[in-house]
Every structure is written in structure tokens, then in C-alpha cells.
Amino acid sequence: MTTIRDVAKLANVSVATVSRVINDNGYVNENTKQKVKDVVRKLNYRPNDVARSLFKGKSKMIALFVPDIKNPFFPELARAVEDISNKHGYTFILCNTDNDPNKEMAYLHALLQKSIDGIILVSNTMSTNQIKDMNVPVIALDRKISSEIISVTVNNKEGARQAVQYLRKQGCKRIAHISGPENVSSAKGRLEGYLEEVKNEKWFASDFICTGNYTVDKAFQSTKELLQRDAEIDGIFVANDLMGVGVLKAVESLNIKVPDELSIIGFDGIELGEITTPSLTTMAQPIYHIGKRAAELLIQRIGQPGNAIKSEEHKVKLIVRESTIERGGNNE
Amino acid sequence: MTTIRDVAKLANVSVATVSRVINDNGYVNENTKQKVKDVVRKLNYRPNDVARSLFKGKSKMIALFVPDIKNPFFPELARAVEDISNKHGYTFILCNTDNDPNKEMAYLHALLQKSIDGIILVSNTMSTNQIKDMNVPVIALDRKISSEIISVTVNNKEGARQAVQYLRKQGCKRIAHISGPENVSSAKGRLEGYLEEVKNEKWFASDFICTGNYTVDKAFQSTKELLQRDAEIDGIFVANDLMGVGVLKAVESLNIKVPDELSIIGFDGIELGEITTPSLTTMAQPIYHIGKRAAELLIQRIGQPGNAIKSEEHKVKLIVRESTIERGGNNE
């Protein structure tokens, strides 16, 4: 392996000069600079980041923890974090935790040993104290952890209210909710928003809420049971688009026509929602933007640990596609 | 930060003894061992992997390069590589290259500087020489690079032949192909298999092959043009399931009934194919298994660089779903 000494020797300069050229700090005259660069290229010398990180306690790595790499929402989010990381010279590590606290801790332990510079967490299992103990910059993304941990999220509750208001505006008179896991903050916010809109309706009963657990299969099963129990449901607000796929499948298996007999609206705005049949109306998150902001805040915190940064809540936006239709009647 | 010296001091033993306990090598009596372990726990001491990797030139990290994290095939593949990596105590890094040689080289450079232990590559842009120059164990996955680079792939050509044979058996008489990028080995193999089956048919013309470039949008557009040009096509073999989604959308937009008027078969066997309407018949790869094998081979190579390992080609398997139907006539 080529060392900095080999480069210095062949270029006939000191190790300090090579270091100055490589790190682009301190004065070196142009001729010498060029000579060093030529030798670096010739010997294919790579300044050793491992040695550097030992010295500085920095690895130039940041990690994103996601609970389910197979929900397309997370690859879309990861793309944004990755782009910003690369742009700032960080290597980006993606860790898939399966919502499993043991796996999460194992990853954390491994990364802390590698002097990871910072972590973006999509987690509902880590506690504030666990995060503080890590003694490394952390940003919570998509799911809030506590007011003490800076987060980038969307207005889940308000977005859910808008989804239900939209269905009502289209003429839906009995609106059900396929909810996410009750211990996940995004799912909780969406459920609360739904409840605020419907809880005083005389048709509303608690069995209008069925858990889909943020998975296609559970959403499929719950929707089937729901619609077999109550055939008059004419609108469903689904807590995420991934479950929307299961809902569409269930509805199709019961020969119910979407959107003529039943309107469906999801949440997230993943690309998958464009390619279902019918395509899925949704409350779209600015997915790329929130991933980008989380990465920017993390990198800011890594660079200037003292500076104050603030949590951000971004807005969702209605995207109308084929799964909803104006059905006359109640239009305001 | 706690150092090995702090541990030694509090346990009242030498640094060498602490090191022996932590690394579980050399004799230490049981009482001392227990005392050291208690102190390690008490001080929350983490042996520094950065220091270790500097010493050993190992980082206990492996990386997977994928060309498109948003094609669900790759998250499914990544899961397998990740599981096996974790099982063997490696930190798993996912790098998304967008098929961009510059991005690929930038990632490589960063990871080599971090003493990455090995890399699994899904790439069609890296050359054999570039890989050899890296001087780090590499396994090619999904896409062959050359006979000199060990690979784990599937029988793309034979699988494509089986797909076309199956469509013919269902009674299809004019079978088109939506192909992948021509510089990608998997796409090339699938195209060759298709051609071997149809090239002597009198209905066959070169415009029965339309590129979909492994993307939904391009496949959508190409299929629309294809079917508007030739309304008698009754079967389409699509080079991957992701494009299958675009094909289904195009067919639907033309009011052609699947499978009654047109049968469609994909390739890959990703979960997305189960949730389209209609669900997609496909030649399924053993996705998890090939990811697992690539990781196992890489870890084997890292552990015993001298040992011979061999390339593997796994078999695809027909999964019949709703997008194909027996249409009488030509059944053998």
C-alpha cells in the first residue's frame, strides 16, 4: 500500500508538503503542488481516511435508520438523504431496522464504534435517553421521538383532517379509517385527525377504525372484514399509500367499484400510488424535501454542534387521482 | 470518551490484560476476566473499531452497489445481503449509483479509503480492470461483468425462453418483447432468449421488440406505441416486473382487456407484481437466495482470500397470476 512517505520521497518534498497539497491548506508553490499531484496520481495514493478519522474522531459517515426498506416511502426518502450526504462529502449508510429494538441497538453499537458522525432516525422504539447517551448528533425523521430530539416531520393530523374533509366534499357519507401501528407517531397523528373530523357524526362507531399496521397484507384483511361488516361505507381514509394497495385489492375482491361506489384516499404520495389500478388519490408528503432537510440539519449540527437548530413540520398536499370521484349530493 | 486505559486503571490490571479479555485471546484467570468485564460495562467502554481497522486494515464493513434503489427488486435483494452481513458481524452499506459511472467511482473511492472489506456490485459500467485495481474482494450480483469476476446471477436467457414458451402454450400467436437497457447483461440475456424462440416465426418483425429501459415510464410509452402500431399482438414478454407495471397501465389506457385479449408475463418476481391489477404472471428469480449467496461468497473470500470460489447461476421459476390465461387453440 502506498503511504504518504512514498509520495514525499518520489516527489522529493517533505511529508508535510504532501499533506498540505492533499488537504489543500497552507502555502505550497504551484510547481511543487503540480509535482505532488502527479506523483499522487502515478502511485494511485489514497490518503487514508481511517487514519484521519482516528485522529479527528470523525469518519465522514452518516447513517439513516429506516423501519422497513420494502415500503417504497423509505427508498424515496433515502434517495434524498443520500444525495445531500454525497454533496457534502459524507458516505451514506442505510440501515434497515425492521422496527426491531435489538437490531436498532446492534446497528447503533457498530456505527458508534466506527465513529459515525451523525444519524437520522426513523424510529418509534428508541427513547430520548438512549439517544442522548449516544453522544452523537441525531435528527428524527418522519416520526417524532420527543420534544428534546430535533425532528423533521409533516402535519399528519391536519393532513388527515384535510383527507376526510375532501372525501366529505366528494359526497362520502360513511368514512372509515385503515390506521397504522398505534405506537408510531405518524399513524397516531393521522388517526387523531380522522377522529376529530368524524367523532361527532351519528353514523360513526369505533369499528370504523381498523388497523392495517402499515402493511399491505394486514390492510387487505382488515378492509375485507370492514366492508363485509358494513356495506354502506362509501369512503376510506388509509393511513399510508402502501396500505392503500391492500385496500384496493380487498375492494376489488369484493367486486366493489372504485371510485363509483367507494372513494379511497391514502397518505404519503409515493410513486406506487400512481401505478395502481385505479391510481390512488393521496395526501402527499414532500418526501424528497423532508429527507433533504433532515440531512441538511444533521450536517449543520455535525459542523457546528453549538448552533441552535429547530424542528420542522412540513405540509402535505392533496393529489387527486382515480380512486376518488365527486359523487354529487353533499357538495359545498 | 472512555479509553482502554481508563478500564485498566479502574480494574487495576494492565492494558494488555484488558485487550486480552476484550479480544478473547491469551490466558486471563476467570476472576480477573469477570472484573474487567464488569468495568467495561460500568464505564460503557466501546473498543474502538477505528483504531482496530487502522491496525488490521479491516473495517468490518461490506457494501452493496445498486443501480436504482427505487426498483423494488433492489430493496428485496438488499434485505438478503443485509441479513447475511449482520449475521456475520459486518456493517452493511447500501450505495445507490443510478448507473452513473462517476457516482460509482466516487463511492468506491470513499469506501476504499475507509478500508471497506468487500463489495457486492450490481453494475454494468465497471470494467474488469477497474475492479482488479481496487484490490478488494468483489462479487458481481445480478449482472455479470466478465468471466474473471465471480458472479451470482440467474439463467436469464433460458428463463426468457420459458416465458415465451409459456405464452405460446396459452395460445398467444403474436408475442412482443419490452426489453431492458441493451448494455445490461440481464436484459441482454432475456432479449436473446426471446429472440431464439420467435426469430423464425413468420409473424416476427424487429419492431416487435421495444425498449422499456427498465423503467415504468419508458415501458408505458413503448407499449402504447407498439399496440397502436400492431393491434394483433396477443402476448407480451416484459424484461422485468417493474416495467410490467407500465405495460399494464398502457394496455389499460387503450381499453385492451388483460388477460382476455392480451397476456402479459414479466421477469423478477418482485412483490409489486402481486399487487397490480391484474396481478402479474412472472418468471421469478430466487431474489433473497441470490442476495444471500452473493453475501456468503463475499464473506468467504474476505475470510480466506486464497480459497477458490465459483460463479453461480440460479434458476428462475414460473409464477402464474392473473395477467395470463389459457386462450384455447394452440395448446400442446
Q: Where does B129-226 show beta strands of DSSP type E? A: 138-141, 151-154, 175-179, 209-211
CA A235, distance to chain mean position in Å, is: 27
Per-residue pLDDT at B135 exceeds 90 = no
Q: Do B114 and A271 touch (CB under 8 A)?
A: no
The grid coordinates listed for B116 are 471497506
Res A27: pLDDT: 83
Amino acid at B174: R
Q: How far apart are CA B131 and CA B135, in angstroms?
A: 7
**Which one of B22, B68, B114 would you mutate to disrupt binding with A, by most A Cβ within 10 Å of its Cβ?**
B114
Give me the CATH topology for the region A156-285: Rossmann fold (3.40.50)
CATH superfamily of B4-47: lambda repressor-like DNA-binding domains (1.10.260.40)
Q: Where are the alpha helices (DSSP H) in B170-306?
A: 185-198, 216-229, 241-253, 272-275, 287-303
Res B1: pLDDT: 63
Res A92: pLDDT: 85
Architecture of domain A58-154+287-314: 3-Layer(aba) Sandwich (3.40)
Across the beta sheet with B281-284, what order do the strands follow?
B209-211, B175-179, B235-238, B263-268, B281-284, B317-319
- Nearest residue of B to residue A247, measured between CA atoms: B275
CB B186 within 8 A of CB B142: yes
Q: Do A50 and B59 touch (CB under 8 A)?
A: yes
Write the CA distances from A24 to A19, A20, A51, B329, integer angstroms.
8, 6, 18, 74
- Chain B residues whose beta carbon lies within 8 Å of the beta carbon of residue A95: 92
Same CATH fold assignment for domains A4-47 and A58-154+287-314:
no
CA B106, distance to chain mean position in Å, is: 20
Q: Mean pLDDT throughout B162-169?
A: 97
CB A60 within 8 A of CB A50: no
Please, which residues bridge with residue B93 across strands? B63
CATH number, domain B58-153+287-314 = 3.40.50.2300
Domain locations along chain A: 4-47, 58-154+287-314, 156-285
Per-residue pLDDT at B45 exceeds 90 = no
* Span of A18-22, A159-163, B211-215, B275-279 with lowest mean pLDDT: A18-22
Q: How far apart are CA B48 and CA B6, in angstroms?
A: 13
Helices and strands counted in chain B (H then E): 13, 12
CB A49 within 8 A of CB A60: yes
Write the CA distances from B288 to A323, B49, B84, B119, B270, integer angstroms.
33, 30, 10, 18, 10
Res A44: pLDDT: 76
- Residue A297 CB partners (closer than 8 Å, separation 6+): A139, A150, A152, A309, A312
Res B2: pLDDT: 75
Residue B103 pLDDT grade (very low, low, confident, very high; cuts 50, 70, 90): confident
CB A309 within 8 A of CB A299: no
In this complex, the residue of A112, A113, A275 whose CB is nearest that of residue B216 is A275
In this complex, the residue of B1, B94, B252 whose CB is nearest that of residue A277 is B252
Per-residue pLDDT at B307 exceeds 50 = yes
Per-residue pLDDT at B38 exceeds 50 = yes
Res B43: pLDDT: 82
pTM of model > 0.95:
no
More confident residue, A24 or B191: B191
More confident residue, A228 or B22: A228
CB environment B43-61: b (16+ within 10 A), e (fewer): eebeebbbbbbbeeeebbb
From the CB of residue A303, how many other CB atoms can be counted at a distance below 10 Å?
A: 12
Res B40: pLDDT: 83
Res B331: pLDDT: 41
How many CA atoms lie less than 13 Å away from A112 in the CB half-sphere? Answer: 21
In this complex, the residue of B82, B95, B133 whose CB is nearest that of residue A96 is B82
DSSP assignment string, A108-132: HHHHHHTT--EEEE--SS--HHHHH
DSSP assignment string, B266-286: EEE--THHHHSSSPPEEEE--
Closest CA to A289 of A304, A269, A309: A269
pLDDT, one tens digit per residue, over A268-306 is 999 999 888 899 999 999 999 999 999 999 999 998 887
Res A328: pLDDT: 52
Q: Do A86 and B103 touch (CB under 8 A)?
A: yes
Q: How far apart are CA A47 and CA A55, in angstroms?
A: 13
CB B47 within 8 A of CB B4: yes
Q: Do A93 and B96 touch (CB under 8 A)?
A: no
Per-residue pLDDT of chain A (332 residues; tens, 9 = 90+): 677 888 889 999 988 888 788 766 678 888 998 898 888 888 877 766 555 554 455 668 899 999 988 899 999 999 999 999 988 988 888 888 888 888 888 888 878 877 789 999 999 998 898 888 888 999 999 999 999 999 999 999 999 999 999 999 999 999 999 999 999 999 999 999 999 999 999 999 999 999 999 999 999 999 999 999 999 999 999 999 999 999 999 999 999 999 999 999 999 999 999 888 899 999 999 999 999 999 999 999 998 887 889 999 999 999 999 999 865 544 43
Distance from CA of A53 to the nearest CA of B (A): 7
Its ipTM equals 0.72
Closest CA to A238 of A275, A194, A271, A278: A194
Res B56: pLDDT: 54
Q: Mean pLDDT throughout B274-282?
A: 90
Distance from CA of A59 to the nearest CA of B (A): 8
In this complex, the residue of A72, A94, A113 whose CB is nearest that of residue B49 is A113
Q: What is the dihedral of CA A134, A136, A137, A141, to 10 degrees?
A: -40
